[in-house]
Amino acid sequence: MLIWPIDPVLEADQKAGALWLENRGTAPANLQVRVFAWRQGDYQEQFQAQREIIGSPPVANIAPGQKQLIRLTRTGPSPAGQEQAYRIIIDEIPPAIPVDKAEPGATAAIRLQMRYSVPLFVYGEGLWGKADPDGRRNAEGVGKPQLSWRPVTVQGKPYIELRNTGPVHARLTDVVVQQGSQSKPLAEGLLGYVLPGASMRWPAPIASGNGSVLTGRVNGQRSADAIRQGQ
């Protein structure tokens, strides 16, 4: 299944947006589409049912080689100056395995189910998520995350805690911690997200302290920058 865009947003001046699904397989794909509110608390991801964003159609059958448009629509205005985070959960529902009637007591079985999770960020008036190449939006209104980090110990093991005090999320990739002559990645590629006002923790490959340096790419920027160490 091919899904695009991988980073959909609804800007403050957009009531609806599009998510495309393309079946690259050789069999029809039966899909269920749901949109959940996404929060972060106690260093955990939290998903809740919501009614602010509707994905339509909620169920789709896509033939091999065909595409399906999923329309993402606001049901009302978003809070001014705020970013709201959601997760679009796409479940691929496989057909039942045929029953072999020749065997007594045989029952239908279900094949393994595939699940895709796509982040969606929605903005209220006065805050933009992305720069506008056409210049129709005030560039000063594009939000930026404000990140800081600190080393912590959880059950005797070293962790890195990242806090975001900015108005928009931080998507972290290629994050590396350096302590003295040692330099090791926290994760290959995508580490994760830190939503506005949230703190998240990840296991550290090495113990770190006041002299440590943490670098990473934030929201797809081309080069990795140092992230400020906090308290």
pTM tops 0.95, yes or no: no
Mean pLDDT of 70-92: 98
Share of the chain above pLDDT 90, in %: 82
pLDDT band at 7 (very low <50, low <70, confident <90, very high): very high
Asked if 84 and 187 sit in the same domain, the reply is no
Q: Per the domain annotation, does 46 fall within a domain?
A: yes
What's the confidence (pLDDT) of residue 143?
Answer: 96
Asked if 96 and 180 sit in the same domain, the reply is no
pLDDT at 30 over 80: yes
Asked if 7 and 91 sit in the same domain, the reply is yes
Domain with 185 in it: 147-229
Asked if 34 and 97 sit in the same domain, the reply is yes
Asked if 110 and 151 sit in the same domain, the reply is no
Asked if 151 and 119 sit in the same domain, the reply is no
User: The domain that contains 182 carries what CATH number?
Assistant: 2.60.40
**Pick from 123, 157, 189: which residue ends a domain?**
123
pLDDT at 135 over 80: no
Mean pLDDT of 107-119: 80
Give 142-199 pLDDT, tens digit per residue: 999 999 999 999 999 999 999 999 999 999 999 999 999 999 999 889 999 999 999 9
What's the confidence (pLDDT) of residue 104?
Answer: 62
Q: What's the per-residue H, E or C state across the chain?
A: CEEECCCCEECCCCCEEEEEEECCCCCCEEEEEEEEEEEEECCEEEEEECCCEEEECCEEEECCCCEEEEEEEECCCCCCCCEEEEEEEEEECCCEECCCCCCCCCCCEECCCEEEEEEEEEECCCCECCCCCCCCCCHHHECCCCEEEEEEEECCEEEEEEEECCCCCEEEEEEEEEECCEEEECCCCEEEEECCCCEEEEECCCCCCCCCEEEEEECCCCCCEEEEECC
Asked if 104 and 211 sit in the same domain, the reply is no
